[in-house]
A and B are shown apart, each in its own frame.
Chain A
Amino acid sequence: MAILLAGLGTYAMRAVFIVALAKQRFPPLALHLLEYVGPAVMGGLVVAMLSTPEGAVEIGLPELAGLASAAFVAAKTRNQVWSLVTGMTIYWVLRALVG
């Protein structure tokens, strides 16, 4: 029952604007603004993924170095696999060293 309700709810949230704004003309400012939604949510999501449900943000040196190196490799090579491998390797190595 709750699963069905939540399923309907998640679908509705994803569909609402795509379906409702199907014929609507977007003003240029709105279109420009929408360009920023992706970066804003992704930036926040990275941090949210590293925080506990209690609200503690678990970002130490291994995490920071892993994220920074992954972002650097991704920006330079535009290759997600290399970015992932680099970020994880640096994270694991530093975590083993720092403890």
Chain B
Amino acid sequence: MKPTHTAVRQGIRDTFPLFVPAIPFSFVFGLVVANSGIAPLLGWSSTPIMFGGAAQVTLLTLLGQGASVAAATTAALVVTARHLLYSVTLAPRFQNQPRWFRWVGPYLLIDQVFALTLINRDQDPKVFRAYYLASGFTFWLLWMMATGVGLFVGPALPVEWGLKFSAPVMFIGILAVSVSSWEKVLVAGISAGLTVLFAGLPNKMGLLVASLMAICVALILELRKR
């Protein structure tokens, strides 16, 4: 089998466990749309247009509460500002890629796809591209369907059933596999600690502040090695 075919299969296979936490989230999404008073189809259109769970929920919640377009949009963008960091991180790996992929790739760049690129560091550009597109579009397709189903199921379900916890569990698992040195473990730990400290900041700004500060610590560590 060609390596790109293997990469496609691997990408699809790796996506399914990552999607488990997104299922309860899609119910939350459905509930938010129902409570916002926005037409269900219009609310759902945020899935193909934005393709980012937390940003969609933030935007629609605020719009439902009567926030202005500018305020709701700003808040949604602040919530997902960590994607700026993903974009920088992946920029070197997109350099030896065709131009179309540099434009299509970012559309699929969600937390989960970024996380997968951390554990699959295949250097061959074709294999990377095949893997990235396969996992990205698998997640995309599943999220399209789940948010559609969520519109109907979400309002009918009790929210608290403990499956939400699978999201942090999933990400700590990926983190544990991707950290390759004690310095990275330290930086991840510092970032987690600072996020607790800054949890009170609005719009999940704490995550961004904590990540940036942890990266500053990484800079000091790297400079000391020289």
Interface residues in chain A, defined as those with a beta carbon under 8 Å from any beta carbon in chain B: 1-7, 9-11, 13-24, 26, 29, 31-51, 55-57, 59, 63, 66-67, 70-75, 78, 80-81, 83-84, 87-88, 91-92, 95
Contacts and interface: CB of A to CB of B under 8 A. Distances in A.
A61 B172 CA distance: 16
Contact of A3 (B42, B92, B165, B218): B42
B80 A13 contact: yes
A26 B177 CA distance: 26
Interface residues of B, number: 87
Interface in B1-47: 14, 17-18, 20, 42, 45-46
Interface stretch (B123-131, B149-157, B200-208): B200-208
A87 B45 contact: no
Contacts of A95: 162
Contact of A2 (B69, B81, B210, B215): B69
Given A18-B90, A18-B105, 16 more contacts: A3-B45, A5-B73, A13-B83, A14-B87, A26-B91, A33-B218, A36-B214, A42-B171, A42-B175, A44-B207, A48-B199, A55-B199, A57-B196, A67-B168, A87-B166, A88-B169
Contact of B177 (A13, A34, A78): A78
Interface string B45-82: 11001111001000100010000010011001100111
B77 A9 contact: yes
Contacts of A46: 168, 171-172, 175, 192
List the 8 closest A-B pairs by CB distance, nearest first.
A43-B188, A7-B49, A15-B106, A83-B173, A36-B218, A55-B200, A14-B106, A74-B173
Given A38-B178, A78-B177, A14 B169 contact: no
A53 B215 CA distance: 24
